[in-house]
Amino acid sequence: MNQKNAKVFALGHFIFPAVLFVMFVSQKQFILLVLALMSILFTMFLVQRAYMVGDLSQLLRMPNLAFIVFIDMAIVTLVYVLPEWHTGVSPTWLLLFLLPLYASELGIRTTLVICAFSVGEIALLAVVQGQNFFSLNTMMNVLGIIVMIIMVGSTSDNLVRMAYYDTLTKLPNREMFKDRLTSAVAKRSRKGLAVLFLDLDQFKHVNDTMGHDTGDALLRTVADRLRASLDKDIFLARMGGDEFAMLVPQVSNVDQVNQVCSAVFECLSESIMLGPHEIYATTSIGIALYPKHGTTSEALMKNSEGAMYRAKKQGRNNYQYYLPPEKTEAQMERFAMEAMLRKALEKDELLVYYQPRIHTKSEKVVCVEALVRWRHPSLGIIPPGDFIPLAEEIGLIAQLGEQVLRKACKQIKKWQDEGMKGLSVSVNLSPLQFKEQHLPGIISRILRQSGMRPEFLELEITESAAMQNVGRNILMLRELKEMGVKISIDDFGTGYSSLSYLKKFPIDSLKVDRSFISGIHQDPDDAAIVNAIIVLAKTLKLRVTAEGVETEQQYLYLQQHHCDEAQGYLFGKPMPPETFEEWYMLNTTEKDLMLSHDF
């Protein structure tokens, strides 16, 4: 039911008093004028609620609908009973002006009930006026009423289905949800209500990798599961795409809402079989409470959606309540930075710098680490520490990491074709990026598009990220290893890895954190830790790389203790591609490795 139809319902009522006034002119009965005036007053009430108050759509629902039907039927009854209708004059056709309005607004089922009352009104007319109910005139009018209601009502029902229901899941759509929420807010329930906004996690990857038919089947299955698991009084709708919403009425405390969220997670916990694919669907839920988080339908929908995005930032598959933003200067700067970062990804403002990694025995460049920088049009080069945490927080890190990986693979392939044979590249994966279910597929596609062989790509994951959900990570790493990609544990020694798990990881190398290298000469503990890591790596047949090497003394120490590779400012800072090419040419033509801070 929408406001446009409600306005038509109100304006359509003017026909009834107009007909009564014409009948008054022809019949010369004062009672018809009184009834016409009563009908006009009722019509003006409907118009006022439709145009000025704007809640007639809500009034045309039970229990208020019963009041409106009662007034209309009362006026019809008085028209049938009070005037003296002459023989041959039967006002049964008056209902033909009134009932189609109900059919258009309420659909066929509700109007058929009203139609039954109308037939009773015609029977009352026959009794009071002493007419034959089964006359041809009466039967034709009753038949006309029923046919008109069925035609108008069925058309109205079809239009409502198209306008207010989602064709894929058969759930109510955004328009109906907003209409129902507006009605609930208008009642101003003392117990309050809750709006839950749901978004399926990683749905885009399902569409991209398995096809839209599989995505549609997933949406239908999720809708069916939600519908079956929720209480009947919870209003469920599909808002579009992979987004759903729920209206929970009569909420007296947050425990009720928490239980609804638990029911949602529970119904999605089992895998979904779609043809040959086994899919695990998870969802992020945002919650807004009336009246605490908003007193209008627009505010509640907006704030619940905002809370959903916060749930996404917290790692997905959880629920979050709306929190009002703090409008501090730092917060405003953060909003501005977020907007600029989104534009940077769209406008390709990210640069990839390359820092060389040296083999300690041959002193040759064997690998470069790809490090992202942001070239802002007005602010210049922005270091990663100023925007990487923000990208992780707002859910852009996966897109950012994919851009860096694509640029790095393309650049390395170009250098290999130009004569830098055997040069590899290492790329850091953020913890959130490493959680991506379809990460192997993304990497495989990038390698295929760039033409670079997998063995020249090394992926660096932090020790702490590797130890989260160990079983899943082992499977992920094995899949990457089967592709031919190398795996390195970054910042080793700073996390909480278990040696029993470490030997199960299909990895190629360990990178010693720079915090241990900086104190390798002054602090015996740092030296002992570095030696232990080197011995551990050799025992597990892993390559070991020291990062943060800044002095010749550190480099010499690492060489003496058989550290395989070294990386740091002693050899070269992160450089743009053009500068690295110059650095590489100088170090391949010189007899000895150049240890310079100029690059």
Q: Residues 342-387: pLDDT tens digits?
A: 999 988 899 999 999 999 998 899 999 999 999 988 888 998 988 9
pLDDT digit string, tens, across residues 495-531: 555 566 677 889 999 998 888 898 888 888 889 989 9
Among the listed residues 196, 182, 184, 188, the one whose alpha carbon sits nearest the alpha carbon of residue 254: 196
Report, as an integer, the average pLDDT of 131-159. 61
Report, as an integer, the average pLDDT of 490-496. 72
Asked if residue 278 lies in contact with residue 263, where contact means CB atoms within 8 angstroms, the answer is: no
Q: For residue 557, report the phi and psi dihedrals to the nearest 5 degrees.
A: -60, -45
Over 50: is that where the pLDDT of 154 sits? yes
Please state which of the ranges 275-279, 387-391, 484-488 shows the lowest mean pLDDT: 275-279
**Which residue matches tokens 């006002």?**
91
pLDDT, averaged across the chain: 83
**Which residue matches tokens 């740091």?**
568
Question: Where residue 3 falls among pLDDT bands split at 50, 70, 90?
Answer: very low
pLDDT given for residue 594 in this prediction = 61
Please state which of the ranges 3-7, 38-42, 113-117, 435-439 shows the lowest mean pLDDT: 3-7
Strand 277-279 relative to strand 272-274: parallel, antiparallel, unpaired?
antiparallel
pLDDT given for residue 132 in this prediction = 60
- CB atoms under 10 Å from CB of 447, counted, come to 21
Residue 444 and residue 208: Cα distance in Å, rounded?
Answer: 14
Across 253-318, the runs of DSSP E, i.e. the strands, are 272-274, 277-279, 283-290
pLDDT > 70 fraction of the chain, expressed in percent and rounded: 83
pLDDT given for residue 4 in this prediction = 45
Please state which of the ranges 108-122, 223-237, 523-537, 574-588 shows the lowest mean pLDDT: 108-122
Over 60: is that where the pLDDT of 72 sits? yes
Question: Where residue 87 falls among pLDDT bands split at 50, 70, 90?
Answer: low
Asked if residue 412 lies in contact with residue 456, where contact means CB atoms within 8 angstroms, the answer is: yes
Question: Where residue 179 falls among pLDDT bands split at 50, 70, 90?
Answer: confident
Return left, alpha or beta for 389; rule: phi > 0 is left, psi -120 to 50 is alpha, else beta: alpha
Please state which of the ranges 221-230, 314-323, 324-333 shows the lowest mean pLDDT: 324-333
Question: Where residue 578 falls among pLDDT bands split at 50, 70, 90?
Answer: very high
Q: Tell me the H-state helices in 82-107.
A: 95-106
Report, as an integer, the average pLDDT of 448-452. 94
Q: For residue 214, report the phi and psi dihedrals to the nearest 5 degrees.
A: -65, -40
Please state which of the ranges 50-54, 70-74, 140-144, 530-534 shows the lowest mean pLDDT: 140-144
| pTM for this predicted structure | 0.49
pLDDT given for residue 161 in this prediction = 57
Radius of gyration of the chain from Cα atoms? 36
Task: Determine the length of the chain.
Answer: 599
Over 50: is that where the pLDDT of 307 sits? yes
CA torsion angle for 509, 513, 516, 518 (degrees, to 10)?
A: 120
Across 474-597, the runs of DSSP E, i.e. the strands, are 486-492, 509-512, 543-547, 565-567
Q: Tell me the H-state helices in 54-129.
A: 56-59, 64-81, 95-106, 108-129
Among the listed residues 101, 97, 112, the one whose alpha carbon sits nearest the alpha carbon of residue 60: 101
Please state which of the ranges 129-143, 328-342, 439-453, 545-559 shows the lowest mean pLDDT: 129-143
CA torsion angle for 227, 230, 231, 234 (degrees, to 10)?
A: -80
Question: Where residue 432 falls among pLDDT bands split at 50, 70, 90?
Answer: confident
Over 80: is that where the pLDDT of 113 sits? no
pLDDT given for residue 190 in this prediction = 61
Over 60: is that where the pLDDT of 1 sits? no
More confident residue, 265 or 90: 265
Structural domains in the chain plus CATH codes:
6-164 (no CATH), 174-321 (3.30.70.270), 341-542 (3.20.20.450)
Give the rounded distance of the alpha carbon of 398 from its chain centre: 16
pLDDT given for residue 160 in this prediction = 55
Residue 463 and residue 504: Cα distance in Å, rounded?
Answer: 14
In terms of average pLDDT, the best of 77-81, 252-256, 464-468 is 252-256
pLDDT given for residue 106 in this prediction = 67
Over 70: is that where the pLDDT of 134 sits? no
CA torsion angle for 62, 68, 72, 77 (degrees, to 10)?
A: 70
Give 3-state DSSP helix, strand, coil % of the chain, rounded to 5.
55, 15, 30
Over 70: is that where the pLDDT of 138 sits? no
Question: Where residue 107 falls among pLDDT bands split at 50, 70, 90?
Answer: low
pLDDT given for residue 159 in this prediction = 53
pLDDT given for residue 202 in this prediction = 80
More confident residue, 104 or 200: 200
pLDDT given for residue 413 in this prediction = 95
More confident residue, 587 or 322: 322
pLDDT given for residue 378 in this prediction = 84
pLDDT given for residue 597 in this prediction = 47
Q: In what order do the strands lie in the sheet with 193-200?
A: 235-240, 243-248, 193-200, 283-290, 319-321
pLDDT given for residue 144 in this prediction = 66
Helix H or strand E segment including 590? none
Among the listed residues 144, 154, 79, the one whose alpha carbon sits nearest the alpha carbon of residue 109: 154
336, 341, 344, 378 from 349: Cα distances, Å = 16, 9, 5, 12
pLDDT digit string, tens, across residues 35-62: 889 999 999 998 988 888 777 877 777 6
pLDDT given for residue 2 in this prediction = 42
CA distance between the termini of the chain: 69
pLDDT given for residue 57 in this prediction = 74
pLDDT given for residue 83 in this prediction = 80
In terms of average pLDDT, the best of 249-253, 434-438, 456-460 is 456-460
Over 90: is that where the pLDDT of 410 sits? yes
pLDDT given for residue 109 in this prediction = 62
Question: Where residue 189 falls among pLDDT bands split at 50, 70, 90?
Answer: low
Question: Where residue 427 falls among pLDDT bands split at 50, 70, 90?
Answer: very high
Q: Which long-range contacts (CB under 8 A, 24 or more apart) does 365-368 make?
A: 365/423, 365/584, 365/587, 366/422, 366/423, 366/424, 366/565, 367/423, 367/424, 367/425, 367/426, 367/458, 367/565, 368/412, 368/423, 368/424, 368/425, 368/426, 368/580
